Amino acid sequence: MNTASNHDAHGPKSGIMRWITTTNHKDIGNMYLIVALAMFFVGGAMAMVIRAELFQPGLQLVNPHFFNQMTTLHALIMVFGAVMPAFVGFANWQVPLMIGAPDMALPRLNNWSFWLLPFAAVMLVSTLFMEGGAPAAGWTMYPPLVQQTGDAFPFLIFTVHLLGMSSILGAINIIVTIVNMRAPGMTLLKMPMFVWTWLITAFLLIAVMPVFAGAVTMLLTDQYFGTSFFNTAGGGDPVLFQHLFWFFGHPEVYIMILPSFGVISQVIPTFARKPLFGYASMVYATAAIAFLSFIVWAHHMFTVGMPISGQLYFMYATVLIAVPTGVKVFNWLATMWRGSMTFETPMLFALGVVVMFTFGGFTGVMMGTAPTDVQYHDSYFIVAHFHYTLVSGAVFSVFCGAYYWLPKWTGYMYDEKLGKLHFWLTAISFNVLFFPQHFLGLAGMPRRIPDYALQFADWNMVSSIGGFAFGLAQLIFLWVVIKAVRGGEPASDEVWEGADGLEWTLSSPPPYHSFNEAPKVS
Ligand code: CU1
């Protein structure tokens, strides 16, 4: 495909019009990544406010309502403004390149998918300045609390609709591209793993975004049009909203995690100089995780008073996810086994994902178990858990992919020393930030609270110090990216030595320097 619409009779468009009208997948990928990075810092600044308030017991910096707005917006911005757009940016850049397509299948739709996003993001943040203020009921928007948000409430709903439309249109584009535009000979089971994970993610998006849109529209009609879907006074049930929300919300977790799995399934083989172990099983495990993600939603609701049979079903279904996830972790480890490994920044982040996401998986099993979940529900333990899955699972993977592909995107090598510094400061401060929150939760500290009992003071202070360090460390990433975009040492044809031409879709038997080789030291 060409970029014809990016030209008029007088040649290529220039200035701002070029970016507004572009249909080029690389331009659009860049814009997604820039928005994601900007929103990462906006959402991050809100996290800094949260950790600053929690540095000590007592109310010192912000009032409780503003604190609740911060936790709500931090989550919404990080999920919809930072992590998802970052992976869509990766998809725009890499999916056409990886399948040998000249561009996305629907380039003008691609332009529109992107341009919905910055307006939705700005509208979401602007609710902070509206009469009554930004939503403060948590990103899960449970009624009836969320409807007391005031004037910002309908803007919140509209924002969610815009973000959902952007995601659905993007997902349609990705599916159409992958299904129709693969180079001759690239059968489905020869596609790079990143392409596979995005194909499956796109189906998840199309399946659950409309449910989310429906649920928030029901909130809206309850508030303004006299319906009573979630209003007990009119015969409704607020728990119905939780069912609808989590039918979207649990697959949403995998919408953020599957592309992450895709990225590290590209990176680990490169830096182990071996094909991905168990490629086909990786594909099937991804599909299995996606399927299971639809049938486990009420594990977020064990304490609403559901029948014991319901609790048992959702518990068993949830724990089942450990099987395909275990297949993946095993395959990553088997890929590294006796590989010629080197540890450049992308590999460090990939290893960070494998180790720390898996740890988040363990605490997930603890909470997916109905009888024990009652202990952890709504405590800081769950805050610790989902930050292990979404920060060290998804955000680390965004860093991993960014470092891995920056030389390809910019033509310049990034600063490896600064990259490694970024990784180590990030990994260490991440654990200082979130590991103590397990202890706080187990000791009984509730989540979404601006003040706490004195007994929680010590670990909160440790956590906040880790938080500030984590925030500062991200400025290094910003600097590395700006430096690489501006120039420097040109990237070589084979950036990651010895990995070029890796036929990583090869199936077993593994190559000679793998399992079958005699140990080097005997
Ligand atoms: Cu879930």
pLDDT at position 13, please?
76
pTM of the predicted model as reported, rounded to 2 decimal places = 0.92
Beta bridge partners of 11: 8
Collect all residues with Cβ–Cβ distance below 8 Å to 425 and sequence separation of at least 6.
469, 472, 473, 476
Cα 160 to averaged position of ligand 1 atoms, centre (Å): 20
| 26 a catalytic residue | no
Cα 455 to averaged position of ligand 1 atoms, centre (Å): 30
Q: DSSP labels for 306-336?
A: --HHHHHHHHHHHHHTHHHHHHHHHHHHHHH
pLDDT at position 8, please?
53
Cα 299 to averaged position of ligand 1 atoms, centre (Å): 6
| 438 a catalytic residue | no
pLDDT at position 498, please?
61
| 252 a catalytic residue | yes
Q: What is the pLDDT along the chain (522 residues), one digit of tens a residue?
A: 444 455 555 556 778 898 999 999 999 999 999 999 999 999 999 999 999 999 999 999 999 999 999 999 999 999 999 999 999 999 999 999 999 999 999 999 999 999 999 999 999 999 888 877 788 889 999 998 888 777 788 889 999 999 999 999 999 999 999 999 999 988 999 899 999 999 999 999 999 999 999 999 999 999 999 999 999 999 999 999 999 999 999 999 999 999 999 999 999 999 998 889 999 999 999 999 999 999 999 999 999 999 999 999 999 999 999 999 999 999 999 999 988 899 999 999 999 999 999 999 999 999 999 999 999 999 999 999 999 999 999 999 999 999 999 998 999 999 999 999 999 999 999 999 999 999 999 999 999 999 999 999 999 999 999 999 999 999 999 999 999 999 888 888 778 876 655 544 444 334 444 444 444 554
| 380 a catalytic residue | no
Exposed/middle/buried for residue 276 (C-beta within 10 Å: 0-12, 13-18, 19+):
buried
- Count how many Cα atoms sit within 13 Å of the Cα of residue 26 in the half-sphere of its side chain: 13
pLDDT at position 12, please?
67
Cα R_g (the chain), whole angstroms: 23
- For residue 11, the one-letter residue type is G
| 328 a catalytic residue | yes
| 139 a catalytic residue | yes
Cα 385 to averaged position of ligand 1 atoms, centre (Å): 11
Of the candidates 280, 74, 272, the residue with the CA atom closest to the CA atom of residue 190: 280
CA pair distance 18, 12, nearest whole angstrom: 8
Give the DSSP letter of residue 8.
E
| 250 a catalytic residue | yes
Q: DSSP labels for 265-280?
A: HHHHHHHHTSPPTTHH
Task: Catalytic residue, from 25, 161, 182, 300: name it.
Answer: 300
Give the DSSP letter of residue 303.
G
pLDDT at position 15, please?
84
Collect all residues with Cβ–Cβ distance below 8 Å to 286 and sequence separation of at least 6.
196, 197, 200, 258, 261, 324, 328
pLDDT at position 521, please?
52
| 243 a catalytic residue | no
pLDDT at position 9, please?
55
Of the candidates 174, 201, 169, 166, the residue with the CA atom closest to the CA atom of residue 287: 201
Tokens 């899955």 found at: 389
| 316 a catalytic residue | no
pLDDT at position 522, please?
44
- Count how many Cα atoms sit within 13 Å of the Cα of residue 186 in the half-sphere of its side chain: 19
Cα 30 to averaged position of ligand 1 atoms, centre (Å): 31
Collect all residues with Cβ–Cβ distance below 8 Å to 121 and sequence separation of at least 6.
35, 39, 77, 80, 81
Cα 307 to averaged position of ligand 1 atoms, centre (Å): 19
pLDDT at position 503, please?
44
Do residues 36 and 86 make contact, with C-beta atoms less than 8 angstroms apart?
Answer: yes
pLDDT at position 1, please?
43
Residues around ion ligand 1, judged by CB within 5 A, are: 250
Q: Give the helix/strand (H/E) hosting 172.
A: helix 152-180
Cα 381 to averaged position of ligand 1 atoms, centre (Å): 15
CATH T-level fold of 22-505: Cytochrome C Oxidase; Chain A (1.20.210)
**Three-state DSSP state, 420:** helix
Which segments of 337-415 does DSSP mark as H helices, in order? 345-352, 358-368, 370-376, 380-390, 396-410
| 452 a catalytic residue | no
Length of the chain: 522
pLDDT at position 515, please?
45
Of the candidates 408, 391, 286, 409, the residue with the CA atom closest to the CA atom of residue 349: 391
Give φ, ψ of 377 to 5 degrees.
-55, 135
| 486 a catalytic residue | no
